[in-house]
Chains A and B, each alone.
Chain A
Amino acid sequence: MQHAGKFFILLIFGSLLLHAKIARNGESIAQTNQPGADTTIGLLLIGNEWPGGADRKRATAYFLVTGNDSSAFRCYITESKSAQVGIDLRAGSNAIPWKQRLAELAALFPDASKAYSFDSLKNVYTGRLTETAELSPLITADYRKYFGKSNKIPTGTWINKMLLKNKLTADLNQVFLPYKMTVAGYGFEKLFFTNTGRGKELDGVVWAKMQKL
């Protein structure tokens, strides 16, 4: 991490122990938060090392730490000066399964939601579609179901409808359900089909627009 040296790292121990155990081979969200495990939450307090500092009130990265091993999956939460909250999910590669990312989120959110008002959550940035691990081919499969074999990307309205019925939406809704937030729609940029190790998949930058239930 380029700016790791500039970040102030806090590892919350003791009373903030999460007591969560996240299986690396992926367990369902319901199996997280099991008491007695040695998993803690790591925080990176982000300062002006990040661009956009003029518009940002504060930002924190949350991640799980098990023993000496910190997860590469980071949940960045930002609050703007206009009190809008945004979440940026970042795994860095496809090494961490999507299912595990959801499990880690479910473990991180109880603490994160105390520091940031999820009621003010406006968007969840999920990054490039092809970097959502095993979810990526499922999104492409849904695309094919809706739009056939053509690689010509339809208009945003149709993509939005497709994504709202996709597992991406179902998963985000499930993980945000305890906070009474739901996916209202999607924003996206530069959708296209690209070659991945799994074949040709839909790629592009995507973010979910959130609203209160």
Chain B
Amino acid sequence: MHLQYPFIFPALETPRLWLRQLLITDAGRVAALRSDEQVNKYLGRPAHTSIEEARGFIEMINKGLEEKGWFYWAIAVKPAAALVGTICLWNLEPEKMEVEIGFELVPAYQGKGIMQETIECILRYGFETLKLEKINSFTEKENIASVKVLERNHFKEDETLKAAESESLIGYSLNSTTYYAARG
């Protein structure tokens, strides 16, 4: 089985959120997100991002969308369209129907259930529309908020992923069987 990529980028909607394609006009917000020390704390990413660099990043992401079939959504809280975070499905292994999920949210919107609402929507899209078999995620052990979000969504620690990455990272995964069983 192979992934069937949609012809048009899949903009999604939840009760409180718009999940839309990342645009070059998001550069200022992307730069702010990627410059936030709290957001970068567990990513090991340098905490300074210019708007110029953010534009380059967005161009790269959109190139990945075209060439590699990535999905990279900007998270916007209704009714505004302004980006407050991002979520992506990337590192696709079409033969295995396996992808990696990554997400980040500006601190002002954390603790409000925004990421939970986002992930529920993306998992539904990934398993039910894309027909994925497995979604992986890597997070730092100390990133409690990220671990909680993953576990709340039935991700489990995956030893096969743990061995592959650095000691401080935990590999989590969720397969389609577990996803559908949890949905009931």
Binding site for B on A (CB under 8 A): 1-3, 50-52, 55-56, 59, 76, 78, 80, 82, 84, 86, 88, 90, 92, 122-123, 125, 127-128, 131, 152-153, 155-157, 187, 189-190, 192, 194-195, 203-205, 207, 209
Residues in chain B near residue A1, CB distance under 8 A:
52
Binding site for A on B (CB under 8 A): 28, 31-32, 34-37, 43-53, 56-57, 60-61, 63-64, 67-68, 70, 90-91, 93, 164-166
Q: Name 13 interchain pairs, CB-CB below 8 A, sorted by A.
A: A51-B34, A82-B37, A86-B48, A90-B52, A123-B46, A127-B56, A187-B44, A190-B64, A190-B90, A192-B64, A194-B67, A204-B60, A205-B60
- Is A51 in contact with B49, judged by CB distance below 8 angstroms? yes
- Is A153 in contact with B166, judged by CB distance below 8 angstroms? no
Which single residue of chain A is at the shortest CB-CB distance from B93? A152
- Closest approach, in angstroms, between the C-beta of A199 and any C-beta of chain B? 14
Residues in chain A near residue B61, CB distance under 8 A:
190
- Closest approach, in angstroms, between the C-beta of B170 and any C-beta of chain A? 14
Known contacts A127-B56, A128-B56: does B93 contact A51 (CB below 8 Å)? no
Task: Give the tally of cross-chain contacts (CB within 8 A).
Answer: 95
- Is A127 in contact with B165, judged by CB distance below 8 angstroms? no
Query: A80-B37, A203-B63 known; 11 other A-B pairs, CB under 8 Å?
Result: A50-B50, A59-B48, A76-B48, A82-B37, A86-B46, A92-B52, A157-B164, A187-B45, A192-B68, A194-B63, A205-B57
Residues in chain A near residue B48, CB distance under 8 A:
50, 52, 56, 59, 76, 78, 80, 86, 88, 125
Residues in chain B near residue A122, CB distance under 8 A:
46
Which single residue of chain B is at the shortest CB-CB distance from A191? B91
- Is B35 in contact with A55, judged by CB distance below 8 angstroms? yes
Residues in chain B near residue A92, CB distance under 8 A:
52
- Is B165 in contact with A190, judged by CB distance below 8 angstroms? no
Contact partner of A86 (CB less than 8 A), chosen from B34, B47, B57, B90, is B47
